[in-house]
Amino acid sequence: MKHRVFVLETGCAFEAGRDETLLEAATRQGVQLPHECTLGGCGACRIRLAEGSVSYDEMPLALSEEEAQAGFALACQARACGDLAISVPTAALPQAQRRSGVVRVLRQFTPDVLNLQLELESEPLEYLPGQYMNVLLPEGGHRSFSMASRPQGNRVDFHVRQVPGGRFTDGALRSLRAGDRLDVEIPLGGFRYHAQDYRPLLMVATGTGLAPLKSMLEALMDDADCPPVSLYWGMRTEADLYLADEIRGWGERLYEFNFVPVLSRADAGWTGRRGHVQDAVEQDLPDLSDLSEHAVYLCGSPAMIADAKRRFLARGASAAHIYADGFS
Ligand code: FES
């Protein structure tokens, strides 16, 4: 038996059976829904159920019980239990395009994080801070990287974690030189800044999850409407904290900026915070009061995001104001 799924923003509809996820059903019928991992780990396919209910074979990592109770669902894992009306918050995002780019900067931030800057051909690029691009690999497939700067003409800037044995990051990337060309698909993804919230921002990143948050914060610099910002950044060692000095300087251009680096494998000489980044946020909650007034942005490992969501929701954060972008 098929159920009818109506998309509120676009007015289009598709049919979904119990033997397929909402994302599979939509894709089969040519309806675009935002998605990234398709595994329930990143949260990019989050939709809101205006009518009807869904079920899961297993509760996905990127959706907490509280979010599910508040009417949110992950389209890549959810199956329709009846007719649905869904809200897809990314309906107004810029359209992705295939573009060619020339490598302008290749700079090691640390031994395993590379700063890659591309200059794209043809007209200036429009994207929303927080979005990402796919690098299209000549042998097929792609690798995804978030833009790390605010939109600025045709230049795009990325923080690339080099994974030992990674097909792109430990393969083609190592032989890449300034002047080489890359084919990309850009911009993609629904992770972005929600200005209409106008709430204090709690931003939590692990590793190169810093990049999309940096892009958002650069766009907020010198903006009189910028809310107070707390940025927690989890890394292993002090040497991994690329750009830490630059980030400390952001306080001069952001209205009320609090930066807290947190190290999981700090040397004895480190005088800052230690442990998991989400632990540090919870320890500071007496200072942050509760989280009911905050907009929360999480970016980095799916495990951090799942744990942070669970804890922050228990401390009063609103499921409607938590935004997450998970990647391994
Ligand atoms: Fe559904 Fe990642 S695409 S959680």
Domain of residue 161, CATH code: 2.40.30.10
Domain that holds residue 253: 195-326
CA of 37 to the centre of ligand 1 (A): 5
Q: Using one digit for the tens of pLDDT, what is the confidence trace for 145-195?
A: 999 999 988 999 999 998 887 777 777 777 889 999 999 999 888 788 988
CA separation, residue 153 to residues 122, 147, 156 (Å): 10, 13, 8
Q: Which of 188, 206, 237 is the last residue of a domain?
A: 188
Let me know: does 257 contact 285? Beta carbons within 8 Å: no
Give the integer Cα–Cα distance in Å for 216 and 285: 23
Residue 77's pLDDT is 94
Residue 146 in domain = yes
Q: Is residue 119 a part of any domain in this protein?
A: yes
Residues 313 and 206 in one domain: yes
How many angstroms does the Cα of residue 118 sit away from the middle of ligand 1? 27
Question: Could you say which residues of the chain have pLDDT below 70?
Answer: 90-93, 289, 328
> Which protein residue's CA is at the shortest distance from atom 4 of ligand 1?
40
Tokens of residue 188, six digits: 């993609």
Predicted pLDDT at 328: 66
Which among 22, 27, 32, 36 is the best mutation to test ligand 1's pocket, defined by most ligand atoms within 8 Å of the CB? 36
Other C-beta atoms lying within 10 Å of the C-beta of residue 148: 23
**Structural domain ending residue among the three candidates 87, 117, 132:** 87
Do residues 6 and 13 make contact, with C-beta atoms less than 8 angstroms apart? yes
Using a 6 Å cutoff on CB, does residue 154 contact ligand 1? no
Ligand 1 contacts CB of residue 201 (under 6 A)? no
- At residue 277, the pLDDT reads 98
pLDDT at 92: 59
Q: For residue 35, how far is its CA from the centre of ligand 1 (angstroms)? A: 5
Q: Does 322 map to a domain?
A: yes
- The reply to whether ipTM tops 0.90 is yes
Tell me: do 321 and 200 sit in the same domain: yes
One domain for residues 213 and 277: yes
Distance CA 79, CA 74 (A): 9
* Overall domain count for the chain: 3
35 lines ligand 1 (CB under 6 A): yes
CA–CA separation, 327 and 185 (whole Å): 18
Q: How many CB atoms lie within 10 A of CB 273?
A: 18
Please identify, by atom number, the ligand 1 atom nearest to the C-alpha of residue 46.
Answer: 1
Q: Tell me, using a 6 A CB cutoff, whether residue 44 lines ligand 1.
A: yes
